[in-house]
Amino acid sequence: MSALRDAFAELDEKQTLLAIQQMIDRGEDPKEILAEARRGLQIVGERFEARQYALIELEMADELFRECVKAVEEKTDQGRVD
């Protein structure tokens, strides 16, 4: 599952969404997929604290996480992931 976490931490939208698609194709649990994205988000936060990232990267991470939720909801036909 680290492909998703790593792509998210790098704020690479294309690779992040690709990793989500691959996990869906493998039939993985949508909640686990989002948990992995959240681990990527956590790394973004750690990099912010370490000053490797700054405020705009936090904005980018916010938008990317919303896209992850949207992708999982749409592609797994789950409706809302609570």
- Site residues (CB under 8 A) for another protein? 11, 13, 51-57, 59-60, 62-64
- The least CB distance from residue 69 to another protein, in Å, is 15
Residue 26 or 56: the one with the smaller Cβ distance to another protein is 56
Residue 15 or 42: the one with the smaller Cβ distance to another protein is 15
Residue 64 or 71: the one with the smaller Cβ distance to another protein is 64
- The least CB distance from residue 32 to another protein, in Å, is 24
- The least CB distance from residue 42 to another protein, in Å, is 17
Q: What are phi and psi of 53, to 5 degrees?
A: -115, 160
Tell me the C-alpha to C-alpha distance, in Å, between residue 65 and each of 12, 19, 76: 11, 13, 16
Q: What is the Cα–Cα distance from 53 to 49, expressed in whole angstroms?
A: 8
The torsion angle over the Cα atoms of residues 37, 40, 44 and 46, rounded to 10 degrees, is 130
